[in-house]
Amino acid sequence: MEAALALRRQELALESEVEMEQRVADFVNERESEMLSNLEKQLAKRGELSKKEVSEIIKTLESEIRVKMEAALLDARHSAMEHYES
């Protein structure tokens, strides 16, 4: 009985982690859309950017997304583990 409960807790924690990873993936997709929109606006304002400038902008935005995604995933995992440990 106790082993079954432990397995169920583990299953619920994994399901929760999968759901949170999906939310993170959705967030990333939304952020990428925002990033492209912002880049298009910058292009419209500045005329033509050099390939180097565009590359730097994209790298910066990708880095920001990666940091936010990792932080959100870490928070989600921590929250899931706390929830199922209690």
> 1-23, pLDDT tens digit by residue?
888 888 888 888 888 888 888 88
The whole domain housing 68 covers: 2-85
Of 46 and 79, the structure prediction assigns the larger pLDDT to 79
Q: Which two tokens stand for residue 21?
A: 């990873």
Residue 86 confidence (pLDDT): 64
Residue 47 confidence (pLDDT): 65
> 20-66, pLDDT tens digit by residue?
888 888 988 898 888 888 888 887 777 666 788 888 888 999 999 88
31 close to 68: Cβ distance less than 8 angstroms: yes
Q: Which two tokens stand for residue 38?
A: 């912002």
Domain count for the chain, please give it.
1
Phi-psi group of 51: left, alpha or beta (phi > 0 → left; psi -120 to 50 → alpha; rest → beta):
alpha
Torsion, Cα 58 61 63 66, to 10 degrees, reads -120
Residue 60 confidence (pLDDT): 92
